[in-house]
Amino acid sequence: MPRPTTVRNPRASSQAGIAAILAAARELLAEQGVAGLSIYSVAERAQIPPSSVYHFFTSVPALLEALTADVHAAFRACLQQPIDHAQLRSWRDLSAIVEQRMLAIYADDAAARQLILAQHGLSEITHADRQHDIELGQLMQSLFERHFALPTLPDDIDVFALAMELGDRVYARSVQQHGHINPRLAEEGMRVFDAYLGLYLPICLPKRPTAL
């Protein structure tokens, strides 16, 4: 009687391979920055042939774009975490919660700091980051709308995305100078974020009776 054949799920195998490659790239990025990343160094760290890396990622920029998407997935998740509506006194309280959650991601993830805040000069990554910022800005605006009655905002610019980008400029300076976001510049970045939003959101923005 023939022995049963074990059929491997190619999709599960591919996902496992991609996960191993991204994990190795994340480690190298955290340790050495973008300059230390290559297809061969990732393959060596993941203990797989370089051809296996090329099968999923044809270049370092393609690999970095995937890591950028992974980082922004963590940012999206933090915007989707529950907010205690009763504890919000003003929109600045909500702003502080959001920024502190994002700062926690930067603090815990050296790869995120290298990708989003460090100077790497890769236009592909900068473009991908800005596209993700637009999505995050839309999610953030929806979050604010659930708790506060927002005024009419411009439709030709992404106010919340720009606020995030401006705050990130301050965080980037800290990373470039210190390798991390120190408390003083974390505070300044949050002030920049609030200051820009304050150009469009009045201080006494009406709070909704209950969250939408």
| CA separation for the pair 109, 115 (Å, rounded) | 10
Return the SS3 of 153. Answer: coil
Confidence band for 8, pLDDT divided at 50, 70 and 90: very low
Domain of 89, in residue numbers: 61-212
- Domain shared by 69 and 54, yes or no: no
14 vs 41, which has greater pLDDT?
A: 41
Q: How many residues does the chain have?
A: 212
- Domain shared by 142 and 195, yes or no: yes
For 125, the token pair is: 């990554």
Identity of the amino acid at 133:
D
| CA separation for the pair 141, 135 (Å, rounded) | 10
**CATH number of the domain residue 186 falls in:** 1.10.357
- 8-state DSSP, 121: -
Domain closes at, from 43, 58, 73: 58
- Domain shared by 96 and 201, yes or no: yes
Identity of the amino acid at 141:
Q
Global pTM exceeds 0.85? no
- Domain shared by 31 and 68, yes or no: no
Q: CA 97 from chain center: how many Å? A: 16
Mean pLDDT along residues 149-167 = 94
For 4, the token pair is: 């049963």
- In this structure, the dihedral spanned by the alpha carbons of residues 58, 60, 62 and 68, taken in order and rounded to 10 degrees, is 160
| CA separation for the pair 14, 6 (Å, rounded) | 17
- Domain shared by 126 and 96, yes or no: yes
Q: Identify the pLDDT of residue 41.
A: 93
- Domain shared by 140 and 185, yes or no: yes
- Report pLDDT digits (tens) over 83-122: 999 999 999 999 999 999 999 999 999 888 888 888 666 6
Number of domains in the chain: 2
- Domain shared by 5 and 43, yes or no: yes
SS3 letters across 13-35: HHHHHHHHHHHHHHHHHHHHCHH
- Report pLDDT digits (tens) over 113-152: 888 888 666 676 777 777 888 899 999 999 999 999 999 9
- Domain shared by 48 and 70, yes or no: no
Q: Identify the pLDDT of residue 2.
A: 42
Q: Identify the pLDDT of residue 114.
A: 86
| CA separation for the pair 127, 129 (Å, rounded) | 5
